[in-house]
Amino acid sequence: MAKKRYALVGTGGRAEFFYGALAGEYRDTCELVAFCDINQTRMDYANRLLEEKYQYHKVPTYLSNEYEEMIGKERPDYIIVASIDRTHHTYIIKGLELGCDIITEKPMTIDAERCQAIIDAVKRTGREVRVTFNYRYAPINTKIKELIQSGVIGEVFSVHFEWALDIYHGADYFRRWHRDKRNSGGLLVHKSTHHFDLVNFWLDTEPETVYARGGLRFYGRENAENRGITKFYQRAYGSENAVGDPFALHLTEDPHLAAMYLAAEKEDGYHRDQSVFGDGISIEDTLAVLVTYKNKAILTYSLNAYLPWEGYLVAFNGSKGRIEVTVREKSAINAGKERPEEGVMRGGLQEENTILVMPMFGPPYTVEIEEGKGGHGGGDPLLLRDIFGPPGEDKFNRAASHIDGAKSILTGIAGNISLQTGLPVKVDELVKF
């Protein structure tokens, strides 16, 4: 049987998650055929890792303006899109039009216009788009889905969902291209797409109305000045003021980051180590969202990106009781070589990762959860098996389509509009499916 052929667009911090799997566990049934990026140095480094770390062969490289040429020459069956968020739609749509199916990193895109264009392209071409929502596959999140489906707390009326990003992982969004909302859609789109998707997945519903409040309260130069900070720098590399700053990222201390970013600066001018207290930050670090769903459930959601711990708390209130979930995760710096994978569950499950079911009439009890190995609560390896491994049945329907991708980002997109207007936003008015 012929191997499935994959081309990867974007060779930055998230790329190795995909090409490492293709060159490793799934090399017998899948073939990586090409890299595409705006930066040749970064592609060359990815090829070096393929050879030295995975004992795989180099693959042809194409600059972003050679994307169509790459598809024509290499004839991939699938395009994996792991580029900067604002460019996802370009590669998704053109790939669909040239006869490829798409596997895309979240968020699928960053605004309603781009989202509509992807929806229309799928209709027009009849091709498939998969969005890599790895948190769906985390055993603890799958267990939550199973409990709700079983009816143990009856009909779910409301959800309270608090996500905590710590001063290592949370800060990292303010060092990178994500700090510009034009690139990422802000954390309500780039990060919260995971969380809004989980609610859609858990409750088997979709958002109806969104109201959001928030702002930049901790990071950014003005906030630092208000707290009495007087020493500033725009990036850590070469700055004396960055020495000893716990928020500084020193690229020269990590060979992986140095090779992927510092050595590549000469081509695209991208600085991976910008100060979290520098100028030019246009995203929020403190957010609260109220969502009503088509099944009449209500979500109260908060995201804070500067906390002393990493993880999430979620509570479901239903007609027969309540479920409380606590998850603590290990913090990670994106693409840091010696750091843990993003979203690895921390500590012993008994102590820090729990599901507590409280029936309306009866004693509360904890639910045993399978310990998930790997990033995003153990979801990463299960997701990779689902997209690269042999086809299999999944009673929880965790594979996420472009429709799932759209419905998750539309909560965040509506939230961004609400932040600007101060008004609730009807999601159905944003795009047409």
Select from 198, 199, 206, 189 the least CA-distant residue to 89. Answer: 189
CATH 3.30.360.10 placement within the chain: 135-219+281-429
The topology (CATH level 3) of 135-219+281-429 is: Dihydrodipicolinate Reductase; domain 2 (3.30.360)
Rounded to an integer, what distance in angstroms lies between the CA atom of residue 52 and that of residue 339?
Answer: 20
- The yes-or-no verdict on residue 348 having pLDDT over 60 is no
Return d(Cα 223, Cα 226) in angstroms, integer: 5
Task: Give the Å distances, CA to CA, from 267 to 85, 125, 261.
Answer: 20, 35, 10
Least confident range from 60-74, 257-271, 348-362: namely: 348-362
Query: What confidence score (pLDDT) does residue 319 get?
Result: 98
Mean pLDDT of 388-396: 91
pLDDT > 50? residue 161: yes
Rounded percentage of the chain residues whose pLDDT exceeds 70: 96
Q: What pLDDT shows up at residue 343?
A: 54
263 pLDDT above the threshold of 90: yes
Of the chain, the end-to-end C-alpha distance in Å amounts to 36
Judged by average pLDDT, the poorest of 41-50, 377-386, 408-417 is: 377-386
Mean pLDDT of 337-364: 71
* Least confident span in 180-189, 237-246, 343-352, 404-413: 343-352
Cβ of 172: how many Cβ atoms within 10 Å? 26
pLDDT of residue 342: 57
pLDDT at 345 (0 to 100): 53
Take residue 262 and report the two structure tokens written for it. Answer: 């510092």
**In the predicted model, is pLDDT for residue 335 greater than 90?**
no
Topology (CATH level 3) of domain 4-133? Rossmann fold (3.40.50)
Q: Which residues pair with 324 in a beta bridge?
A: 315, 356
Mean of the per-residue pLDDT values of the chain:
94
- Residue 359: HSE in the Cβ half-sphere, 13 Å Cα cutoff: 9
Quick one: pLDDT band at residue 97, thresholds 50, 70, 90?
Answer: very high
pLDDT of residue 237: 97
**Amino acid 376: pLDDT:** 75
pTM above 0.85, yes or no: yes
In sequence order, the β-bridge partners of residue 161 are 301, 314
Q: How many CA atoms lie within 13 A of 132 on its CB side?
A: 24
Tell me which of 79-83, 120-124, 383-387, 390-394 is least confident.
390-394
Residue range(s) of every CATH 3.40.50.720 domain in the chain = 4-133
For residue 121, give the nearest of 94, 82, 88, 103 by alpha carbon: 94
pLDDT tens-digit series, residues 39-62: 999 999 999 999 999 999 999 999
SS (H, E, C) 77-95: CEEEECCCHHHHHHHHHHH
Summarize pLDDT for 280-307 with one digit per residue, the tens: 999 999 999 999 999 999 999 999 999 9
Q: Which of 73-82, 154-163, 316-325, 334-343 has the lowest mean pLDDT?
A: 334-343
- Which helix (H) or strand (E) element contains residue 194? helix 192-203
Please indicate whether residue 346 or residue 218 has the higher confidence score (pLDDT): 218
Over 90: is that where the pLDDT of 379 sits? no
Summarize pLDDT for 164-211 with one digit per residue, the tens.
Answer: 999 999 999 999 999 999 999 999 999 999 999 999 999 999 999 999
